[in-house]
Structure 1
Amino acid sequence: MTETKIFARLKADHDRHRELLARIDETQGDSDERRYLFEAFRVEVTAHAASEEMSLYATMLANPDLRDEAQHSVAEHKEIEDFLTELYEMDFSSTGWLTRFRTMKERYLHHIDEEEEEMFPQAEKGLSDAKKRELIKIFEKEKPKEKAKAAEDEPSSEHAKA
């Protein structure tokens, strides 16, 4: 089981993300609950993506058989990051916010389903047990740092353009 721990850990994060998305979707208007849950999701997903890229994706990018899948997923991470910045800057009480949130939710759910159903099984076959153990260590080391960094950062499309 140790050798699959990286994939189980990533999937556990995805399950938490699914739960947060469902809870956000049930909120109404510019409520404290919507803001709190959205911020929790933003910080969690940002930290998860960065840590995933530093561990699993970095290794996959170095493997010609896995590179295309990793590049595709990195591009999807950027797309989600852009959605999160846009949502952060929008009026949380507008119907436009909820519409945009649901678009982001659909894209993100597609992304994590694709990872779990296609990419993880392919990567699991292409990586040694030792490499999988190394990846979980990197992920577990980096995620708390990335979470603290994401919590400090205020997303801004202006900042992204600079």
Structure 2
Amino acid sequence: MNRTASEAKTTKPIPPMQARRAAVAKAKAIAVDVPANIGSTPATRFRGDADIFGRLVEDHDHHRALLAMISVTHGHSPERERLFIELVKEIKGHAAAEEQALWSSVMRNPATTDDARHAVGEHKEMDKMMADLAARDMASPGWLRRFAALRDEYLHHIREEEQEQFVAAQKHLSDSDIRYMRQVFNRRKKEEKAGATIEKKLQK
């Protein structure tokens, strides 16, 4: 990978609990009166790291908080709508940037191709589930049940990434590459999230 001096700069690692608190605070800023109780999070070696994997876990914790907050909202409230829109744009931007910064490179290595394809496939499933929710009435009793299914699927997906897929990918990437991938991810995430749209499509 080609990189400029500025792109090669890395951020300093921060303590895992501090990283987790910062991610939750970012979600709380969307709806300050809604609790963000994410409870315990799956163990991962990457939280707070100054590389692509630490950056991805940072987003995951932000998403965990948004999911927890939406779960305690009621009806078609302004808070539920605001948090859901943020969640959809966050996940879409995150997934697209992750695929470009990380999985596109990992997929070229036969040892990790399957992991990359699995992760990308689950991103597409998340898109379908979010589009289905967006097409439904937030005030209906069934909306929160369907949201709970999305929440459980996404939490499983990011736990699998953090505990298995990132670990496998790290073994086949150089230290300089995984640091540079963070810079690529940050650029692409900003662009992808800004361009993300809320699609509405009922699933069978």
Q: Give TM-score scaled by structure 2 length.
A: 0.73
Superposed, which structure 2 residues align to 1:72-111 within 5 Å? Answer: 72-111=118-157
What CA distance in whole angstroms lies between the structure 2 residues aligned with 1:59 and 1:73?
Answer: 13
Cross-structure match for 2:192: 146
1:140 Cα deviation from its structure 2 partner: 1.1
Contact in 2 for aligned 1:91/1:97 (Cα 8 Å): yes
What CA distance in whole angstroms lies between the structure 2 residues aligned with 1:140 and 1:48?
Answer: 9
Cross-structure match for 2:88: 42
Cross-structure match for 2:182: 136
Give 3-state SS (helix, strand or coil) of 1:48's partner. Answer: helix
1:6 aligns to 2:42 (yes or no): no
1:16 aligns to 2:42 (yes or no): no
Tell me, which stretches of 5 or more residues in structure 1 are unaligned? none
1:59 aligns to 2:129 (yes or no): no
Cross-structure match for 1:30: 76
Give 3-state SS (helix, strand or coil) of 2:137's partner. Answer: coil
From 119, 135, 160, the counterpart of 2:165: 119
Contact in 2 for aligned 1:55/1:138 (Cα 8 Å): yes
Contact in 1 for aligned 2:85/2:198 (Cα 8 Å): no
Equivalent position amino acid for 2:201 in 1? S
Give 3-state SS (helix, strand or coil) of 2:198's partner. Answer: coil
Contact in 2 for aligned 1:4/1:132 (Cα 8 Å): no
Tell me, which stretches of 5 or more residues in structure 2 are unaligned? 1-11, 14-48
Contact in 1 for aligned 2:88/2:198 (Cα 8 Å): no
Alignment coverage as a number of residue pairs: 156
1:156 aligns to 2:175 (yes or no): no
| Higher RCO (CA < 8 A, seq sep 6+) | 1
What CA distance in whole angstroms lies between the structure 1 residues aligned with 2:119 and 2:137?
Answer: 29
Q: CA RMSD in A?
A: 1.5
Give 3-state SS (helix, strand or coil) of 2:51's partner. Answer: helix
Contact in 1 for aligned 2:89/2:193 (Cα 8 Å): yes
Equivalent position amino acid for 2:143 in 1? W
Which structure has more helix as a fraction of its residues? 1
What CA distance in whole angstroms lies between the structure 2 residues aligned with 1:124 and 1:25?
Answer: 33
Contact in 1 for aligned 2:103/2:116 (Cα 8 Å): yes
Computing the radius of gyration over CA atoms, which structure comes out larger, 1 or 2? 2
